[in-house]
């Protein structure tokens, strides 16, 4: 039973985390630029682990009942996603400034940390997926199943973000061309704007 809950946590957690979103998109971009990659990976994992634990512990019910709080989280998240989408669109129009080489001006650590935290915590979908959905399913597991479900979901998160952040280096030859950056940034802009709009649908 515990093994089944653990595998269920891995499966469901992985299916939710792997979906293309603002957090994954920003991590991929930082990994391709080789800017504070380990820091970004650590932030993604810590945020996910904390939210999954909170969800299984019962916080999901509190969030669904706090309609006013969820509304303002949606507002803040939508504004942030729309703003970053504009930045990505501008980068897609001028891709030469974003070549994957070591001569570009890198962002400072504080800026990257703030952005990674924003992508991890300002998107209401993160709370709906990790806290509400995973929390509600994990909370239904009998006995120690809750713990093993949560551990499975946490492991899936750690494996995915580590693979995405560390594996992006193999794509660097592709992103040595401005066209590749144009496509990536264009896709990121679309993802950001789609997520911002979906918050109010």
Which positions ≥6 away from 65 have C-beta within 8 Å? Answer: none
| Angstrom distance (rounded) from CA 81 to CA 197 | 9
State the residue for tokens 């080789």.
34
| Pure H helices in 60-172 | 60-65, 67-93, 109-121, 124-126, 134-139, 145-167
Number of domains within the chain: 1
The answer to whether 96 and 21 are in contact (CB under 8 A) is no
- Across the range 128-134, mean pLDDT stands at 81
Query: Of residues 40 and 70, which shows the higher confidence score?
Result: 40
For 28-55, write each residue's pLDDT tens digit.
Answer: 989 988 899 999 999 999 999 999 999 8
For 78-119, write each residue's pLDDT tens digit.
Answer: 888 888 889 888 878 876 544 444 445 567 899 999 999 998
In this predicted structure, what is the pLDDT of residue 105? 52
| Angstrom distance (rounded) from CA 94 to CA 139 | 48
Expressed as residue numbers, the domain containing 67 is 2-198
| Angstrom distance (rounded) from CA 113 to CA 72 | 22
- Cα dihedral across residues 56, 62, 65, 66: positive or negative: negative
Cα angle 168-7-143, degrees, rounded to a multiple of 5: 135
Nearest CA to 14 among 141, 154, 142, 120?
A: 154
For 183-201, write each residue's pLDDT tens digit.
Answer: 888 888 888 888 788 777 6
Q: 84 is written with which tokens?
A: 């970053």
pLDDT, averaged across the chain = 83
């Amino acid at each position: 039973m515990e093994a089944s809950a653990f595998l269920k946590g891995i499966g469901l957690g992985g299916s939710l985390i792997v979906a293309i979103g603002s957090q994954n998109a920003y991590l991929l971009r930082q990994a391709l630029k080789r800017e504070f990659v380990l820091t970004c990976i650590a932030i993604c994992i810590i945020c996910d682990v904390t939210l999954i634990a909170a969800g299984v512990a019962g916080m999901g019910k509190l969030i669904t009942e706090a309609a006013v709080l969820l509304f303002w989280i949606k507002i803040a998240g939508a504004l942030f996603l729309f703003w970053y989408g504009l930045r990505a669109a501008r980068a897609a129009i001028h891709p030469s400034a974003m070549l994957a080489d070591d001569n570009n001006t890198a962002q400072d650590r504080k800026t990257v940390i703030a952005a990674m935290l924003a992508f991890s915590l300002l998107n209401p979908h993160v709370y709906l997926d990790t806290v509400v959905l995973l929390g509600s399913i994990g909370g239904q597991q009998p006995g120690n199943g809750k713990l093993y479900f949560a551990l499975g979901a946490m492991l899936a998160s750690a494996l995915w973000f580590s693979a995405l952040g560390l594996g992006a280096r193999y794509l660097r030859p592709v992103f040595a061309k401005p066209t590749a950056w144009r496509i990536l940034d264009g896709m990121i802009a679309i993802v950001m704007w789609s997520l911002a709009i979906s918050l109010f649908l």
